[in-house]
């Protein structure tokens, strides 16, 4: 289970930015072969991607945002990512289970070890993608989690992006619920385009966390600290979870399954949520030590 909170986009052709991203505190980086690369530069970008993967893939989890399956570039992007050590691919404009299954099939064909650890992250960024989010999430066991792209989504449905995020609430909730129902990890929230607007970015990240997202796509290193802090449990949250688990397990031994802790009702769902939080915090602590 992944503990990654921050996924930093980097143009796949920019070697200096890639080197800086590898040295940053971002949990993962995404080398972009899609929007950040001009049509005439796609083949050149793939060669640069190969060099970067060979050089850096053992230092940090590197994902590749390939071109979407309606283009002529996607298959070569995919083969390059698989063959050179990428942790996985981000599949843009994911709209159907058929396309995702095709991607997973090509990965298995291109991999000598059945790609057992290779991750596929469908990027949901259209109305059709939101509508069929569960089918996409459940399409193949190679899918680790989904991600949300609000900019393309807003263009597709013709809505205006606002600070409140109200216009995205249904789409975000649909993606979170589909992920849970399909048994995959919680999704990654969309990028926030204005990297100079720190307050706006933090506000959007908080909204995403409230809805159920556990990570965020980011486009600038200055967004990393807020992301990593916000999507990690606070000391107060960990302390509360420990109190809940201790009190509930003691009550359960005496045949009681509904108690009050700090003036709040605790039953099995609340207990399980607290246990899950402690599990994540322990894994995160062990990961930082290693």
Name the binding residues for Mg(2+).
125, 152
Query: What's 221's DSSP letter?
Result: G
Residue with token string 């680790």: 144
Could you tell me the CA-to-CA distances from 271 to 83, 237, 254, 278 in Å, in that order?
Answer: 43, 13, 16, 11
| Structure tokens, 150 | 């609000």
Identify the bridge partners of residue 123 per DSSP, sorted by sequence position: 147
The β-bridge partners of 189 are 216
| Phi/psi at 196 (5° precision) | -85, -15
Closest Cα partner for 3 from 206, 289, 282? 282
In the block, which residue shows the tokens 């992007």? Answer: 77
* Binding annotation for substrate: 65, 125
* Alpha-carbon dihedral sign for residues 190, 191, 193, 199: positive
Residue 177 Cα to chain centre, angstroms = 15
Q: Which residues are annotated as a binding site?
A: 65, 125, 152
Q: What angle do CA 206, 209, 213 make, to 5 degrees?
A: 140
CA dist., res. 45 & res. 37, Å (int) = 7
How many angstroms from the chain centroid is the CA of residue 239? 26
């Amino acid at each position: 289970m992944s503990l990654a909170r921050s996924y930093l986009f980097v143009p796949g052709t920019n070697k200096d930015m890639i080197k800086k991203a590898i040295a940053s505190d971002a949990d993962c980086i995404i080398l972009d072969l899609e929007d950040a690369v001009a049509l005439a530069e796609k083949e050149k970008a793939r060669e640069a991607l190969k060099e970067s993967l060979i050089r850096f893939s053992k230092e940090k989890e590197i994902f590749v945002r390939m071109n979407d399956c309606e283009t002529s570039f996607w298959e070569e992007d995919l083969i390059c990512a698989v063959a050179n050590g990428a942790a996985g691919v981000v599949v843009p404009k994911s709209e159907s289970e058929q396309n995702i299954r095709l991607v997973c099939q090509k990965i298995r064909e291109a991999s000598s070890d059945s790609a057992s650890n290779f991750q596929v992250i469908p990027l949901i960024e259209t109305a059709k993608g939101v509508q069929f989010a569960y089918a996409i999430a459940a399409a193949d066991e190679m899918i680790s989690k989904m991600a949300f792209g609000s900019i393309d989504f807003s263009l597709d449905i013709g809505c205006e992006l606002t600070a409140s995020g109200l216009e995205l609430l249904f789409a975000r909730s649909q993606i979170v619920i589909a992920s849970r129902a399909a048994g995959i990890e919680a999704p990654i929230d969309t990028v926030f385009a204005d990297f100079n607007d720190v307050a706006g970015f933090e506000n959007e990240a908080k909204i995403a966390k409230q809805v159920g997202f556990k990570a965020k796509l980011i486009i600038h290193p200055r967004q990393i600290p807020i992301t990593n802090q916000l999507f990690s449990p606070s000391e107060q949250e960990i302390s509360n979870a420990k109190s809940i688990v201790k009190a509930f397990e003691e009550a359960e031994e005496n045949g009681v399954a509904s108690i009050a802790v700090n003036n709040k009702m605790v039953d099995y769902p609340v207990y399980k949520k607290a246990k899950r939080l402690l599990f994540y915090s322990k894994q995160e602590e062990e990961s930082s030590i290693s």
